[in-house]
Amino acid sequence: MAMRSVASTAARAIASPSSLVFTRELQASPGPKKIVGVFYKANEYAEMNPNFLGCAENALGIREWLESKGHQYIVTPDKEGPDCELEKHIPDLHVLISTPFHPAYVTAERIKKAKNLQLLLTAGIGSDHVDLTAAAAAGLTVAEVTGSNTVSVAEDELMRILILVRNFLPGHHQVINGEWNVAAIAHRAYDLEGKTVGTVGAGRIGRLLLQRLKPFNCNLLYHDRLKMDSELENQIGAKFEEDLDKMLSKCDIVVINTPLTEKTKGMFDKERIAKLKKGVLIVNNARGAIMDTQAVVDACNSGHIAGYSGDVWYPQPAPKDHPWRYMPNQAMTPHISGTTIDAQLRYAAGTKDMLDRYFKGEDFPAENYIVKDGELAPQYR
């Protein structure tokens, strides 16, 4: 893959904090490469489904293929701390593969240590576990399998909306606990029809969610850096809201579908949450750090947020004392929405395709790049 000169790259590196960007040659040089994958451990569940590819045991199903080409493939779930298994391989790895569900946090310090590193791949969508500015400054390529789990996440968001609106979980808990108290559920259970639902971010996942909400006859709003074309807006039945806070004040239900960037980190703090309708429901399958953790807890305790559901936390895995585990009216899960078996098949295939292109010196699909030639993708700027 032809790479531009250091001087040319530096001139265009709008995301780099330094005046000089060093571009590491992405095309794989001859000889074996060291590839490290970081995935969650599945233990006894690893053998229950042959298509369960996203775990450490099955390692995206690419071990045999990589080793047949002479490459070394190291897989570990151990990713935290100075003595973890990942840290041992940082100095000489060429490619690091991780997922949003068990992210290997690639800090500027780790990038500095990784003298041979050329390529950071996300098996899935969302590369905020990488210090993207540091990656750009180091001339690394960061890419993900765009579109691989958009349907999975959008379906999960719709499920969570219904769980919150219908006050489902208390009823389920009653059954488990041998109870029967209809009033305790019905006093705060509603229909979805007629409610105002706003998505913060209307990219691939946000648009799919809006399309799936249309049959419910909701009032659909969206806020995004880009406005949809009029034909698509009419098909979906959604209205663009340029002013985020004005949109939020109208919403019965708010869904977070924006990537985590320096601009969106802590976006929903105490002040912004106070601007939401009292009794608002929030679904967040984007990233936990978009929310101010304690502000969400306080608003759930006061009732200002009537229900909060999502599968994203910060950090991940969430510690046992994470306050979202214990706040009222929550329907939280581990980070599962984008790792259905169908999604795993898609992002495993997409990761293999990009590795194959890397070995051959071919470009990736343009939409997969998060950092290329010292520049961040627009959604991360």
Establish whether 204 is an annotated binding residue: yes
Establish whether 363 is an annotated binding residue: no
Establish whether 125 is an annotated binding residue: yes
User: Rg (Cα) of the chain, in Å, rounded?
Assistant: 22
What does DSSP say about strands 369-372 and 375-376: parallel, antiparallel, or unpaired? antiparallel
Establish whether 260 is an annotated binding residue: yes
Task: Given the residues 149, 257, 284, 329, select the one marked as catalytic.
Answer: 149
Establish whether 224 is an annotated binding residue: yes
Establish whether 234 is an annotated binding residue: no
> Judging by beta carbons within 10 Å of its beta carbon (0-12, 13-18, 19+), is residue 137 exposed, middle or buried?
buried
Establish whether 285 is an annotated binding residue: yes
Do 36 and 74 touch, CB atoms closer than 8 A? yes
How many whole angstroms from its chain centre is CA 190? Answer: 29
**Catalytic-residue membership of 346:** no
What DSSP state is assigned to residue 220? E
Do 376 and 136 touch, CB atoms closer than 8 A? yes
Give the torsion sign (CA, 39, 45, 47, 53).
Answer: negative
Task: Given the residues 58, 167, 316, 330, select the one marked as catalytic.
Answer: 316
Residues β-bridged to residue 283: 255, 309
Give the torsion sign (CA, 327, 331, 337, 341).
Answer: positive
Amino acid at 343: A
**Catalytic-residue membership of 129:** no
Establish whether 356 is an annotated binding residue: no
Cα-based torsion angle of the residue sequence 196, 202, 123, 212 in order, rounded to the nearest 10 degrees: 50
How many whole angstroms from its chain centre is CA 24? Answer: 26
Task: Given the residues 110, 335, 346, 357, select the one marked as catalytic.
Answer: 335
- As a whole number of angstroms, the distance between CA 139 and CA 13 comes to 10
Establish whether 205 is an annotated binding residue: yes
- Report the interhelical angle of 168-176 vs 150-165 (nearest 10°): 80
Task: Given the residues 223, 287, 346, 357, select the one marked as catalytic.
Answer: 287
Quote the tokens at residue 79. Answer: 């990713």
Strands (E), the chain: 34-38, 72-76, 95-98, 119-122, 141-144, 196-200, 219-223, 238-240, 253-256, 280-284, 305-310, 330-332, 369-372, 375-376
Establish whether 338 is an annotated binding residue: yes
**Catalytic-residue membership of 51:** no
Establish whether 350 is an annotated binding residue: no
Amino acid at 163: I
Establish whether 362 is an annotated binding residue: no
**Catalytic-residue membership of 325:** no
- Please compute, for residue 215, the number of CA atoms within 13 A of its CA located in the half-sphere on the CB side: 3
Establish whether 259 is an annotated binding residue: yes
Binding-site annotation: residue ranges for substrate = 125, 149
Residues annotated in a binding site for NAD(+): 150, 204-205, 224, 259-263, 285, 311, 335-338
Active site residues: 149, 287, 316, 335
Instruction: Indicate the annotated binding residues.
Output: 125, 149-150, 204-205, 224, 259-263, 285, 311, 335-338
